[in-house]
Amino acid sequence: MARRSIEPLLWSLFSAGGVVSAFFMPVLIFLFGIAFPLGLIEAPGFQSISELIKHPITRLVLMVVCIFPLFHWAHRFRFTLYDGLQIKHLNEVIAVVCYGGALFGTVLAGYLLWNIG
């Protein structure tokens, strides 16, 4: 029986990370990096943000916003090193470091988001 590759899974995580980054990151950067600090929009108080983050759906959305871009980065960085810098002899090491870093970030984000309280 032929061994199946996990490459389709990695490409789907890459794609999901690109979509999440394209849709959510500009809005978050505008709100928390420009609009709130400059006073264009009244910033929500600590209490309202705290209550919002305690809701399970908000935590799930924050997990998606944190996790998928990590895998997008890992895949893009892996192929930048692999193809761009032509270090094909280190493909396995690069893959383990990149995707391992994304998995570590996933576990860390999950731990931090679910233990907020």
Predicted structure pTM score: 0.80
Per-residue pLDDT, 84: 85
CATH number, domain with residue 87: 1.20.1300.10
Per-residue pLDDT, 88: 82
Residue 1 lies in a domain: no
Q: Give the start-end residues of each E strand in 1-117.
A: none
Domain count, the chain: 1
What's 117's DSSP letter? -
Per-residue pLDDT, 83: 84
What's 33's DSSP letter? I
Rounded to the nearest 10°, the torsion over CA 17, 21, 23, 29 is 160
Contacts of 73 (CB under 8 A, 6+ apart): 17, 102
Instruction: Phi first, then psi: give them for residue 63, nearest 5 degrees.
Output: -60, -45
The Cα 43–Cα 35 span in angstroms is: 8
First-to-last alpha carbon distance for the chain, in angstroms, is: 49
Residue 4 lies in a domain: no
The Cα 29–Cα 45 span in angstroms is: 18
Per-residue pLDDT, 44: 93
- The rounded average pLDDT for each run of 10 residues, N- to C-terminus, in the chain (117 residues) is 82 91 93 95 92 91 92 91 86 91 95 83
Residue 2 lies in a domain: no
- Residue-number span of the structural domain to which 75 is assigned: 11-114
